[in-house]
């Protein structure tokens, strides 16, 4: 260690108390408006690193003249990260996450330059886990750190090996941020599609409410008969729509115009929406939670809702167009609603491809890993992954 045991304990106590006070102040100042979970975790990580900077600066070798400057730069990065987390709101939250991660990672790299070689050696196993999680097996920096880890067992690191470890950690953090950006980009794309499909569904319901005869979702017993050939309309036959029915006049198009109402499409879309919500809830058990700033499971679940509304409408239109033989004559509004439920739930056949891609993205995203801090450190140091 770079300082005596008594001094280390005293510094540890002061650093932990400072971190605790800082965290309490942050919660009291921002508890009323800083509600996103990733922000809370990031602030906790910033306080942890700030305490570790104080400990590393006091316990480093006195001969290292750059220690104070490196510690000052690390504190600057942490202050910038704290401003990014606290000052970024939902419309620009993605930019705040990227900036905060970059500053926190930079602060951690600076801390690795400050700590003594003995402390760096005690952290080497944890750093190697971080490197192996993000760098490919053939990466030369990873291979170098693995050789250093094997050769330093029971000994200590050389000064020349410190920079090798730091370069590998820096590259691992860069790859990690790339994975977080990829996950966020996928979530944003899914949100855009969900909003677009929702807009299409609302537009269809709006236009058909004002022009219900534009393309009625109605079903009759027989195909159209030219008006000139109608001698007497069949008795006892009706044309049914989602919200009403009309006696069959012999001409399907004319009967549908009389039976159609302004709320037919809205009812079908609502039923498809609810059916998709039920299937989405049932499918969520296949997705693990994502505590990152971009909630991919929530985006995937929201995509299913407007998709279910549209598949319900499209399915009934295909039935009305005799696309499915034998399923063109529905006898009641209840049957129409029932088929809308089936078609709304069938959206899973189209969105399951997006679900599979979402699982791949979340599996590639970084996950928390245990870490061990050097003896006498103020807190257990964990590598800051994309979840802060």
- Quote the pLDDT of residue 275: 93
Average pLDDT of 30-37? 49
Question: Does 211 share its domain with 255?
Answer: yes
Q: Give the model's confidence band at 196: pLDDT under 50 very low, under 70 low, under 90 confident, else very high.
A: very high
Whole-angstrom distance, CA of residue 378 vs CA of residue 388? 19
Placement of tokens 């030219």 in the chain = 226
pLDDT at 76 over 70: yes
- Quote the pLDDT of residue 279: 87
Question: Does 196 share its domain with 177?
Answer: no
Q: Is residue 213 part of a domain?
A: yes
Q: Is residue 387 part of a domain?
A: no
- Quote the pLDDT of residue 4: 42
Q: Is residue 285 part of a domain?
A: yes
Question: Does 158 share its domain with 204?
Answer: no
Q: Is residue 245 part of a domain?
A: yes
Question: Does 130 share its domain with 251?
Answer: no
How many structural domains comprise the chain? Answer: 2
Question: Does 210 share its domain with 62?
Answer: no
- Quote the pLDDT of residue 202: 94
Query: Sign of the CA dihedral 209, 213, 196, 339?
Result: positive
Q: Is residue 381 part of a domain?
A: no
The H-or-E segment that residue 244 falls in is strand 244-247
- Quote the pLDDT of residue 377: 44
Rounded to a whole number of angstroms, the distance between the first and last alpha carbons of the chain is 28
Q: Of 21 and 10, which is predicted with more confidence?
A: 21
pLDDT at 41 over 70: yes
pLDDT at 375 over 60: no
Q: Is residue 238 part of a domain?
A: yes
pLDDT at 381 over 60: no
> For residue 173, how many other CB atoms are within 10 A of its CB?
25
Question: Does 175 share its domain with 227?
Answer: no
Q: Give the model's confidence band at 182: pLDDT under 50 very low, under 70 low, under 90 confident, else very high.
A: confident
- Per the confidence metrics, is the pTM higher than 0.75? no
Average of per-residue pLDDT values in the chain: 75
Question: Does 120 share its domain with 141?
Answer: yes
Question: Does 58 share its domain with 159?
Answer: yes
Placement of tokens 């590393």 in the chain = 56
- Quote the pLDDT of residue 312: 93
Q: Is residue 370 part of a domain?
A: no
- Quote the pLDDT of residue 227: 46
Question: Does 23 share its domain with 166?
Answer: yes
Whole-angstrom distance, CA of residue 383 vs CA of residue 367? 10
pLDDT digits (tens, 9 = 90+) for 301-319: 899 999 999 999 999 888 8
Query: Sign of the CA dihedral 130, 134, 137, 140?
Result: negative
pLDDT digits (tens, 9 = 90+) for 106-161: 889 888 888 888 888 888 888 888 888 888 888 898 998 888 888 876 667 777 88
Whether the Cβ atoms of residue 369 and residue 90 lie closer than 8 Å to each other: no
- Quote the pLDDT of residue 289: 58
pLDDT at 72 over 50: yes
pLDDT digits (tens, 9 = 90+) for 86-114: 776 665 566 677 788 888 888 898 888 88
Placement of tokens 């044309």 in the chain = 239
Question: Does 45 share its domain with 154?
Answer: yes
- Quote the pLDDT of residue 272: 94
Q: How far is CA 119 from CA 57, 116, 277, in A?
A: 12, 5, 52
- Quote the pLDDT of residue 343: 92
Whole-angstrom distance, CA of residue 83 vs CA of residue 100? 8
Question: Does 274 share its domain with 321?
Answer: yes
Range of the domain at 278: 187-364
Q: Is residue 384 part of a domain?
A: no
pLDDT digits (tens, 9 = 90+) for 204-239: 999 988 888 888 888 876 554 444 444 455 556 778
Q: Give the model's confidence band at 288: pLDDT under 50 very low, under 70 low, under 90 confident, else very high.
A: low
Question: Does 226 share its domain with 291?
Answer: yes
pLDDT at 367 over 50: no
Whether the Cβ atoms of residue 264 and residue 313 lie closer than 8 Å to each other: no
């Amino acid at each position: 260690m770079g300082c005596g045991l008594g001094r280390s304990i005293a510094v540890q106590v002061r650093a932990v108390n400072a971190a605790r006070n800082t965290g309490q102040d942050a919660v009291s100042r921002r508890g009323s408006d800083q509600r996103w979970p990733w922000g809370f975790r990031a602030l906790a990580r910033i306080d942890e690193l700030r305490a570790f900077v104080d400990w590393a600066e006091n316990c480093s070798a006195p001969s290292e003249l750059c220690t104070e400057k490196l510690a000052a730069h690390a504190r600057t990065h942490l202050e910038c990260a704290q401003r990014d987390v606290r000052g970024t709101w939902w419309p620009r939250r993605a930019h705040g996450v990227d900036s905060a991660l970059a500053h926190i990672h930079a602060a951690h790299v600076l801390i690795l330059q400050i700590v003594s070689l003995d402390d760096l050696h005690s952290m080497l196993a944890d750093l190697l886990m971080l490197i192996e999680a993000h760098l490919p097996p053939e990466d030369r920096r990873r291979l170098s750190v693995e050789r250093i880890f094997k050769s330093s067992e029971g000994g200590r690191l050389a000064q020349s090996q410190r920079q090798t470890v730091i370069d590998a950690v820096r590259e691992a953090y860069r790859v990690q941020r790339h994975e977080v950006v990829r996950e966020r980009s996928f979530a944003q794309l899914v949100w855009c599609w969900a909003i677009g499909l929702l807009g299409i569904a609302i537009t269809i319901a709006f236009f058909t409410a004002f022009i219900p005869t534009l393309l009625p979702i109605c079903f009759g017993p027989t195909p159209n008969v030219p008006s000139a050939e109608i001698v007497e309309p069949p008795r006892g036959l009706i044309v049914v729509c989602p919200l009403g029915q009309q006696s069959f006049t012999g001409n399907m198009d004319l009967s549908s115009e009389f039976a159609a109402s302004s709320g037919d499409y809205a009812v079908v879309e609502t039923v498809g929406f609810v059916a998709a919500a039920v299937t989405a809830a049932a499918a969520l058990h296949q997705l693990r939670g994502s505590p990152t700033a971009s909630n991919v499971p929530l985006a995937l679940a929201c995509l299913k809702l407007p998709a279910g509304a549209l598949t319900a409408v499209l399915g009934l239109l295909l039935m009305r167009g005799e696309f499915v033989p034998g399923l063109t004559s529905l006898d009641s509004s209840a049957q129409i609603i029932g088929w809308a439920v089936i078609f709304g739930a069938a959206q899973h056949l189209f969105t399951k491809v997006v679900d599979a891609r979402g699982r791949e993205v979340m599996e590639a995203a970084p996950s928390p890993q245990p870490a061990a801090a050097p003896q006498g450190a103020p807190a257990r140091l964990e590598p800051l992954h994309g979840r802060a």
